[in-house]
Amino acid sequence: MINQNEFYSKNDEPKKYSKFRVWRKIRSEIRSTKSKRMELRSFALGFATALLAIFAFAGVFNLYTQLTIERLPQQVKINNAYKSAIDEFEKILPVKSFDPNQDVDLVLASQLEKMNDINTAINTIKNERNDRDFSKINMQRLRLLYKMKLETIEQIIKIEEGGK
């Protein structure tokens, strides 16, 4: 076993003042190397890496959605176009309050009832089929219902414009 006294004697140890100077020098060296520039650089590098990862993820997600949309059959794309057009028209559809004394309101009420029936038929077809059921018959039915709904919305808009 190694004996400490064989290597060092009491005279070899630094004195109290020497220890103080050594530790003061060590502390000052530690403070000077720990600069704010290094912390700022580290933060900026981490932030840039996080932004790069977010943009990369967004790009991959966008690419994936584009590829899946391109794989859809043409009939599904057409139905999606009808659906988005209908959604936009429904957002701006002016439906005024009904006045039972006016004939225009009866026509408007019948058109709204027709649109509700079409919505029910569309929801029925969507509920009956699977998410991946792209049969021609279902797509044609949906397309026909979407056309009818667009025509009904157009008639409602004409009624509203004529009733003003």
Confidence at residue 43, expressed as pLDDT on a 0 to 100 scale? 85
Report pLDDT for 95.
Answer: 55
Considering 2-6, 15-19, 46-50, 87-91, the range whose residues carry the highest mean pLDDT is 46-50
Are the C-beta atoms of residues 116 and 129 closer than 8 Å to each other? no
How far apart CA 109 and CA 156 sit, in angstroms, is 9
Category of 102 on φ-ψ map: left (φ > 0), alpha (ψ -120 to 50) or beta: beta
pLDDT tens for each residue of 90-132 = 777 655 544 444 555 677 778 888 888 988 888 888 787 765 6
What residue segments make up the domains of the chain, in order of their start?
Answer: 1-71, 73-164
Instruction: Pick the most confident of 44-53, 119-128, 133-142.
Output: 44-53
Q: Are 159 and 104 in contact (CB under 8 A)?
A: yes
**pLDDT tens for residues 4-41?**
666 666 777 778 888 888 888 888 877 665 555 667 78
Residue 97 is predicted with a pLDDT of 44
Of residues 67 and 46, more confidence is placed in: 46
Cα-based distances in Å from 82 to 21, 38, 76, 89, 146: 83, 57, 10, 11, 6
Asked whether 153 and 90 are in contact (CB, 8 A), the reply is yes
* Whole-angstrom distance, CA of residue 109 vs CA of residue 152: 12
In which band, very low, low, confident or very high, does the pLDDT at 134 lie, cut at 50, 70 and 90?
low
